[in-house]
Amino acid sequence: MQIIEAENYEDMSRIAGQIIAREINSKPDTALGLATGSTPLGLYTELVKLYEEKRLSFQHTITFNLDEYVGLPASDSNSYHYFMKKHFFQYIDLKEENRHIPNGMAENLQEECKKYERLIEKSGGIDLQILGIGGNGHIGFNEPGTPFSAQTHIICLDQSTREANARFFPTMEQVPAKAITVGIETIMRSKQIILLISGKTKYNAYKRLLDGEITETFPASILHKHDNCTVIVDKETVC
Ligand SMILES: N[C@@H]1[C@@H](O)[C@H](O)[C@@H](COP(=O)(O)O)O[C@@H]1O
């Protein structure tokens, strides 16, 4: 696991943007794994900037988002479908048919999970996966206790995760209790992984990651076993 200490949030986003641009420019049909949350917002701004400056095109790129809430339609402003369109997709030339996000409204959620996993496989697997981290060490929505062997599945969200994400919802009751998430095994099959960590609230998670103990009670710890994983952490987290 390589660790890059960025000067600040902008620097973290810029470094990640450069790695992604290099990857897409050398392999235009890159399968990119995307994350939501506040952490990657600066990265999306950076990628849009590179696109507008004509230094990057997503014309042949295919994307797979990590997760989606169960029960929220794409039109709901708290869905990850909505998030991706608002913060990234609307500004770039990524073809609509190449954008993939799990469907949290699917009638048969188990089937949706299998379908999503097959789609990733069919594309040849994720080339470059972007990750954020939850305060409890979750990656995607793989909460503590999720088997490392899990593929795309339905997860009951931890109370701490629902509380952390409650800031986006009018009331706590409206925060969904379940989500579809790409599994840890699926994430680990990615050829390259970039984990972004930003802000004081992630200090404990970062410290625990550095401790190095690999345990299902701290999902991000599995990343120590990946042979091409880069952690980009900003100074605010470290100090
Ligand atoms: N499913 C997402 C994760 O993919 C994300 O990493 C995490 C941290 O979010 P933030 O970056 O806002 O701290 O939030 C959500 O739970």
Q: In DSSP terms, which residues pair with 154 in a beta bridge?
A: 180
Which residue's C-alpha comes closest to atom 7 of ligand 1? 134
Note down the domain range covering 118. 2-238
For residue 113, what is the enclosing H or E element? helix 109-122
What is the value of ipTM here, to two decimals? 0.95
67 classed as catalytic: yes
Q: What is the mean pLDDT of the chain?
A: 97
**What percent helix, strand, coil does the chain show, rounded to 5?**
40, 20, 40
Check residue 76 and give left, alpha or beta (phi > 0: left; psi -120 to 50: alpha). beta
Q: Compute how many other C-beta atoms are within 10 angstroms of the C-beta atom of residue 2.
A: 9
136 classed as catalytic: yes
Using most ligand atoms within 8 A of CB, pick from 9, 13, 39, 158 the residue to mutate for ligand 1: 39
CATH number at residue 52: 3.40.50.1360
Which residue's C-alpha comes closest to atom 15 of ligand 1? 37
pLDDT tens-place string over residues 115-128? 999 999 999 999 99
Question: Which percentage of the chain shows pLDDT scores above 90?
Answer: 98
pLDDT tens-place string over residues 15-26? 999 999 999 999
For residue 207, what is the enclosing H or E element? helix 203-211
Structure tokens at 140: 């995607």
pLDDT tens-place string over residues 155-189? 999 999 999 999 999 999 999 999 999 999 999 99
Catalytic residue among 23, 46, 67, 68: 67
pLDDT band at 228 (very low <50, low <70, confident <90, very high): very high
- Nearest ligand 1 atom to the CA of 37 is 12
Burial of 191 (0-12, 13-18, 19+ CB in 10 A): middle
Measuring from each residue's beta carbon to the nearest atom of ligand 1, which residues come in under 6 Å? 35-39, 66-67, 132-134, 140-141, 161, 165
Total number of residues shown for the chain: 239
Spatial contact of 239 and 203, defined as CB atoms under 8 Å apart: no
Number of domains in the chain: 1
What is the residue-wise DSSP string for 42-107?
HHHHHHHHHHHTTS---TT-EEEESEEETT--TTSTTSHHHHHHHHTGGGS---GGGEE---TT-S
Which residue's C-alpha comes closest to atom 6 of ligand 1? 132
pLDDT tens-place string over residues 181-217? 999 999 999 999 999 999 999 999 999 999 989 999 9
